[in-house]
Amino acid sequence: MTHRTHGHRRLFLATVSIVALLVTACDQESGTDGLIGQTQNQTNGTTTVETGKLRTEQRPETGPLETFETAMSEEADALAPSSLTRQSMQPGALADHSLSYEPTPPPQPMPQAGDINRERYEEVDMNGVMAVANQPVSTFSIDVDTASYGIMRRYLRDGALPPRDAIRPEEVINYFSYGYAAPENPETPFATSIAVTPTPWNTDTRLLHIGIQGYDIVAAERPSTNLVFLVDVSGSMSDVDKLPLLKRALKLLVNEMGPDDRISIVTYAGQAGTLLGATPGNEHARIDAAIDSLGAGGSTAGAAGIQAAYNLAEQSFIQDGVNRIILATDGDFNVGIADPARLEDFVSEKRETDIYLSVLGFGRGNYHDEMMQKLSQAGNGNAAYIDTLQEARKVLVDEIGSTLFTIADDVKIQVEFNPARVREYRLIGYETRALRREDFNNDAVDAGDIGAGHTVTAIYEIVETGSEGGMLDPLRYQQTEDRTEADLESEFAFLRIRYKTPTEDESQLIEQVVDNSHVHAEFAAAPQYARFAASAAAFAQKLKAAPYLSEFTYDQIAEIAASARGEDPFGYRNEFLQLIRLAESADALPPQGGYEASWLK
């Protein structure tokens, strides 16, 4: 009996050792060393996964390895404070990890049967077809976020289709700049570009393309900037595509700052703390050293971090300048938020102090997209997902004006359709930005903001009156008013745009008629911007399995995008073509066991 007991004990110890070796192998294969900084030192060389997740997209809901992780987590929390220690915050603590980071994280293993998708995306029904006779007016807030595009790209590069709820068509469309005509002066901050074209995926409908170009600010005219980097340094941020990438991204932004700018850094894990007080933007070495000192460990007290960041932003507030918090996280807040709605309300209240909040999302596996969207919208900011260093440069360097410098607040779009010309319409995307008709003229209703040089695109699919197409049957008892006014017969719709300048509380109005002068009889003869935007709209809808494109293929989408690619100095449009091909390949793969329900939802 004693011999058998000792044998079982040796077998158990051997099993634990094998598990540890497997975890180490997973870390080495993904290009990381497991735990980072102080936490690794505390383990005396023993590999644990307390502050890191397995370097795979998903992991089983339960199992021996997860139990092992939980036990080690509880032991580490008992031995060390949850916040970063003074030793772990020393400059250069993570220099080796930063230097070894690869700009494009390697593809992760495909999910396996039984894996559970712990990423969270808001479930929203797609916009339906509306009858003009019943609802002639469509009203929505603009959306300048691009996070959905980055998430889509990451999934496709990993060889899988993205979750359908992760795809927001307007963010895929608005990822690209379309070269719309710019306004002549800042007094009228927008210029509109309109086109009515045939629909490439339905010969019985047309596309109404509305493009808005914001006034751009030259570098010499940019206002002073007070930025507070609110950095998540919890254990979930230890992966190579999270904190290491985040640090390099922030340094790109720091290099764009000057002596009149101010940068502060607040970190949060088990609790929040100030790593760097307000520092002149041209002190790059000092700021970079603080960024290099960041290390991951502990739970995620996001609420405390946000409150501390606002306090610091208020202390260094720049009058008539840009005051903004940039939250960098995977959104996996798990401590200190009993009611997420209260945190959202707190951020909403703080925007009234002219301190806005933008979000940079990182990582995979536990990414909380729904939380990120709500916080950025409540904070009058924008949300981007950073999956590569190239994307960080796009958001924080190439498009720094639109990211940081707001030219108009509470921008709303309203389209009134003429029943004499349009019978049905469907807005592509903007489901989470829908407004009531009466909200358009109510300046107390919040809406999206637009940054300097930003473009916003909205696309409607419309069915003309008298067309044999359409999705809705005519009502038997509905009386249709005959239009006899000659000046209305040529009009498809009437466009209204409301906005506030950053210094005013009362909105201003822009109006534009959509008529026959905007019609292009052949899709191939339509403006390049309209054709490429149509390809982006088609791709997003295809990924969402929209019923309106059931017979439209990836090859057809790629053909449109290739023919309208135009100038592509940074390669974004060429990358888009590659993503279409990846989607076609991923779409042909068989379902991964029982995983399809959670992965493709």
Domain ranges of the chain: 1-110+218-404, 130-206+406-467+486-599
Highest mean pLDDT among 32-41, 64-73, 285-294: 285-294
* pLDDT (average), residues 388-404: 94
Q: Shortest CA distance to 511 belongs to which of 433, 416, 429?
A: 416
Beta strand pairing status for 137-141 and 406-417? Answer: antiparallel
Residue 545 makes CB contacts below 8 A (sequence gap 6+) with 164
**Helix ranges restricted to H, 482-571:** 528-543, 554-563
Find out whether 294 and 329 touch, Cβ atoms under 8 Å.
no
Query: Do 463 and 204 touch, CB atoms closer than 8 A?
Result: yes
- The Cα 547–Cα 171 span in angstroms is 20
pLDDT of amino acid 188: 86
Q: Give the whole-angstrom CA distance, residue 361 versus residue 383.
A: 7
Hey, how many other C-beta atoms are within 10 angstroms of the C-beta on 315? 12
Lowest-confidence segment of 84-98, 125-139, 165-179, 399-413 by average pLDDT: 84-98
**Higher-confidence residue: 79 or 138?**
138
Q: Which of 235, 233, 241, 234 is nearest to 363 (CA)?
A: 241
Each residue of 326-338: pLDDT tens digit? 999 988 765 455 5
175 to 178, 399, 502: CA distances (angstroms) = 10, 11, 24
Q: Is the pLDDT of residue 30 over 80?
A: no
Each residue's pLDDT tens digit, 110-123? 444 444 567 889 99
| pTM of the predicted protein model | 0.78
The token duo for 178 is 């379309």
| Rounded Cα distance, 406 and 216, in Å | 10
CATH of domain 1-110+218-404: 3.40.50.410
Torsion angle, alpha carbons of 81, 85, 87, 89, to 10: 150
Burial class of residue 226 (count of CB atoms within 10 Å of its CB; 0-12, 13-18, 19+): buried
Q: What is the distance between the alpha carbons of residues 581 and 154, in angstroms, rounded to a whole number?
A: 14
Where residue 520 falls among pLDDT bands split at 50, 70, 90? Answer: very high
Structure token digits, residue 418: 């003429």
- Condensed to tens digits (0 to 9), the pLDDT of residues 448-490 reads 999 999 999 999 999 999 887 777 777 666 655 555 455 688 9
d(CA 21, CA 9): 18
Distance CA 213, CA 209 (A): 13
From the centroid of its chain, how far is CA 53? 22
Residue of higher predicted confidence among 470 and 585: 585
The pLDDT of 224-245, averaged and rounded, is 93
